[in-house]
């Protein structure tokens, strides 16, 4: 890989690009934090605070304090400060810690997957490249027999929450 001048990049070229990316990201976050908040934004944050209170994440004193700060907030950065320590809606389940079942269910999934993968492959190849309609029907039957069980086993071994 060469630069626009034709010379190979030095060892710090990736560090420079990463530094520029971080600087651009911080600049964008600073601009977003400096945006003035609307009444709808403040109402939305108050709704999130009420939801956190109903889940038991906030005490009534914290709710009063944070609600007062949210209603007095001028910028989006101020509103984000009010929500500090609370999970972002929708992300706590998606990005939070996953429920772990341990190594045994995952090991079972991989062993069963290893032995059923030839059948899933055979069914896929017959379905896609079969010479006759009988080959394609047999491919569908093989996939119907093996694939749902493999998917169910995966979901059992790797729970989402």
Classify 10 as helix, strand or coil: coil
Number of other CB atoms surrounding residue 3 within 10 Å: 10
Q: In sequence order, what DSSP letters do the residues of 21-63 get, joined into one string?
A: HHHHHHHHHHHHHHSBPPHHHHHHHHHHHHHHHHTTSS-HHHH
CA separation for the pair 161, 87 (Å, rounded): 15
The pLDDT score that the predictor gives to residue 3 is 47
Indicate whether 66 and 107 sit together in one domain.
no
**Domain assignment present for 21:** no
Most confident of 5-19, 30-44, 60-74: 60-74
| Angle at alpha carbon of residue 34, lines to 33 and 36, rounded to 5° | 105
Domain-embedded: residue 72:
yes
Is 15 within a domain? Answer: no
Q: Which residues pair with 75 in a beta bridge?
A: 36
Residues 75 and 136 sit within 8 Å (Cβ to Cβ) = no
CA separation for the pair 76, 38 (Å, rounded): 9
For residue 128, pLDDT over 80 is answered with yes
> Is residue 108 scored above 80 in pLDDT?
yes
Q: How confident is the model at residue 132 (pLDDT cuts 50, 70, 90)?
A: very high
What pLDDT shows up at residue 113? 92
State the average pLDDT over residues 9-18. Answer: 67
Work out the pLDDT band at 161, boundaries 50, 70, 90. low
Question: How far apart, in whole angstroms, are the C-alpha atoms of residue 133 and residue 53?
Answer: 61
Single residue among 78, 95, 112 that ends a domain in this structure: 95
Q: Are residues 88 and 121 in the same domain?
A: no
Nearest to 149 by CA among 109, 102, 101, 121: 109
- The confidence score (pLDDT) of residue 92 equals 41
Residues of the domain holding 146: 103-157
Residue 42 located in a structural domain: yes
The verdict on 83 and 128 lying in the same domain is: no
Would you say residue 20 has pLDDT above 60?
yes
Instruction: Output the pLDDT for position 19.
Output: 83
Please state whether 85 falls in left (phi above 0), alpha (psi between -120 and 50) or beta: left
- 25 within some domain: no
Q: What pLDDT, on the 0 to 100 scale, is given for residue 93?
A: 44
pLDDT number for residue 12: 59
Q: How many domains does the chain have?
A: 2
């Amino acid at each position: 890989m060469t630069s626009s001048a034709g010379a190979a990049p030095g060892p710090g070229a990736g560090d420079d690009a990463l530094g520029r990316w971080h600087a651009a990201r911080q600049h964008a976050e600073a601009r977003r934090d400096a945006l003035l908040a609307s009444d709808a934004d403040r109402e939305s944050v108050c709704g999130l605070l009420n939801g956190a209170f109903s889940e038991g994440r906030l005490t009534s004193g914290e709710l009063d304090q944070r609600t007062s700060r949210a209603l007095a907030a001028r910028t989006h950065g101020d509103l984000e400060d009010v929500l500090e320590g609370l999970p972002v809606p929708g992300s706590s389940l998606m990005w939070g810690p996953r429920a772990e079942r341990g190594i045994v269910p995952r090991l079972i999934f991989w062993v069963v997957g290893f032995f059923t993968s030839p059948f899933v492959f055979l069914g896929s190849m017959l379905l896609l490249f079969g010479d006759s309609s009988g080959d394609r029907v047999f491919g569908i039957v093989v996939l119907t027999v093996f694939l749902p069980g493999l998917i169910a086993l995966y979901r059992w071994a790797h729970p989402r929450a």
